[in-house]
Structure 1
Amino acid sequence: MTAATVETPAAPVLGRPSVGATVSQTLSMAWRQMVRIKHNPFELVDLSLSPIMFLLLFVYVFGGQMAGSTSDYLQYVLGGLIAQNAIFLTMYTGTGINADLRKGVYDRFRSLPIARSAPLAGKIFADMFKQVWSILIMVGLGLLMGFELRSIGYALLATLVLVVFALAISWVSVLMGVVADSEEKVQIYAFVIIMPLTFTSSAFVDINTMPGFMQAWAKVNPVTHLADAMRGLLSYGPIAEPLMWTFVWAAVIFAVTAPLAMRAYKRKMV
């Protein structure tokens, strides 16, 4: 009589998570970031003070010189300041990822059966809350200062457009956060990119007042298109063309930087 052979079931082979699982994991990672704000509400104070100071200083210091009156300049500059602030906020994504990488947080994520992109995408989606918070602060203060809003519907569309563009450009910040070896270097890289982009655009001045060679650049500058789209949706001016180019730039930036950021992240995790 032969003893029965007991077969041990094979361990399941873990493949790539499904799309649904990846979305769920990304949302879980985003919620992890949101909980950090709950435990450190001072982050919201920091996010509020910067846009408030920029708006007050630009309108009341430069308004009379730029447009002849502070009220006229407020109508022009609010959309540009919202665009600038959104791009500056993406820097926090890169510095946060860099800090977590150096602390070994992502090494722990690597041991979990989750999608590689979930921690990065979760951080980006959580930071979109900061974008919405900032635009609410700036529009709210603008209304108190006398800004004439086009309509609530257009304001909601402006918020959606801003979030889409910020989602795309956040991958630039992610890439810098992964490749840089310190948070300070992420800030330096971001500053070198953001400052020329914002100040050589239509965010603060009419590009027709610039020298000819700078006008050529300003007309294709993605910040110009975003600022013009914000201005058109919130106050006055054309909408269709700047909106189209804003989405085109968002698609191009995402298509180029997201794969590069993921490749650099995978190499970092090896």
Structure 2
Amino acid sequence: MATATLTANGPVTTGKVGVLAGLQHTATLAWRNLVQIKHNPMELMDLSIQPVMFLLLFTYVFGGQMSGSTHAYLQFALAGILVQNGLFATLNTAIGLNNDIQKGVFDRLRSLPIARSAPLAGRVLADLGKQVWSMALMLGLGLCLGFRPTGVAGVLGALGLMLVFALAMSWMMVLVGMVAANPEKVQMLGFVVMFPLTFSSSAFVSVGSMPGWMQAWVKVNPVTSLVDSMRALLVGGPVQAPVLHTLLWAAVIAAVFFPLAVRAYQRRS
């Protein structure tokens, strides 16, 4: 069991925590982050209103121009809107971690006899749970507006793939949250990363409609692989190649940013 000792910088947890205990600590802190929604209803509104707003705007503002009908564009663009919402939602992880650091929450948590990784893993796990809510809400609204997926298996596969990719991207955002000076800087850096990745992809328009020099980037953009995979799973099309590319990209992103994020976390904690 871990113990807490007093140092010049305050109490610090020492000793080892077992794997099972570490998982319990992670689950407890993840639940702590989810329960906070009850005391901060505005967070639930952010998770609900923004996805709905984007879906309605893209469908009814751009749909007729892009595809000739709102229904056709909804069938095409829903996968991209899900991806956009999921990737931008990872910013909440970075902002939440940065807020915890600024308010001294991490200092309080590290004085407890818990696994050192639990505060970080708990935040990431809770934010993935929030993503499930947002995606379910968007899919439900999409069905009401006329979206028709190929089947339940495709929907579940698309949601699972989005969560895997979001988990990989979360480590990039964890790194941003750890190195940024304040939440405002986190948001600025996050948008600088997410906007080019999301909008210079196949999320909202056909790649063939873009100039040649941009097509070269869009085709290697990992978000394009993710959108193509989810679109194929949701409404049909070649699945194997884009899904494999997406999983490969997720593995590469996690392999690069997970150790960097953990190192930054260890330095801050």
Distance in 2, matches of 1:23 and 1:75, equals: 40
AA paired with 1:79?
A
Q: 2:197 aligns to what?
A: 197
2:103 is the counterpart of 1:71: no
CA drift at 1:37: 1.3
State the match for 1:177 in structure 2: 177
Hey, what does 1:47 align to over in structure 2?
A: 47
Q: SS at the partner of 1:112?
A: coil
**In structure 2, distance between residues paired with 1:125 and 1:89:** 13
Which residue does 2:21 correspond to in 1? 21
2:253 maps to amino acid: I
Aligned to 1:94: 94
Q: Which runs of 5+ in 1 are unaligned?
A: 1-12
Q: Which moved more, 1:17-26 or 1:59-68?
A: 17-26
Distance 1:201 1:108, change over 3 A: same
The equivalent of 1:253 in structure 2 is 253
Return the TM-score normalized by structure 1: 0.92
Give the deviation of 1:108 after TM superposition.
1.1
Is 1:212 equivalent to 2:212 in the alignment? yes
Q: CA deviation at 1:41?
A: 2.8
2:236 match = 236
Letter in 2 for 1:164: V
Q: Distance in 1 between matches of 2:249 and 2:115?
A: 27
Q: Secondary structure, in 3 states, of the residue corresponding to 2:74?
A: helix
CA drift at 1:76: 0.3
Distance in 1, matches of 2:213 and 2:118, equals: 43
**Residue equivalent to 2:266:** 266
TM-score by length of 2: 0.92
Structure 1 CA distance for aligned equivalents of residues 200 and 14 of structure 2:
49
Structure 2: distance between partners of 1:52 and 1:101 = 31
CA distance in 2 between partners of 1:29 and 1:252 (Å): 28
In the alignment, the residues of structure 1 paired with residue 222 and residue 18 of structure 2 have an alpha-carbon distance, to the nearest angstrom, of 34
- Residue 267 of structure 1 and its aligned partner are, at CA, apart by 1.4
Q: Distance in 2 between matches of 1:96 and 1:151?
A: 35
Structure 1's consecutive aligned runs of 4 or more residues displaced over 6 angstroms after TM superposition are none
**Residue 14 of structure 1: how far off its partner (Å):** 5.1
Q: Given residue 253 of structure 1, which amino acid in structure 2 is its aligned partner?
A: I
1:121 equivalent in alignment to 2:121: yes
Distance 1:237 1:134 in 2: 25
SS of residue in 2 equivalent to 1:53: helix
After superposition, give the CA deviation of every residue in 1:8-43 in whole Å (9 maximum; x if it has no partner): xxxxx9533222222221111101111101222332
Aligned: 1:151 with 2:151:
yes
Rg larger in structure: 1
Measured after TM superposition, the shift of residue 228 of structure 1 is: 1.0
Sequence identity (%) = 57
Instruction: Name the counterpart of 2:163.
Output: 163
d(CA) in 1 for partners of 2:268 and 2:130? 27
Q: 1:5 is matched with which residue?
A: none
Partner of 2:7: none
Structure 2 unaligned residues grouped into runs of 5+: 1-12
How far did 1:84 drift? 0.6
**CA–CA separation in structure 1 for the residues paired with 2:67 and 2:237:** 16
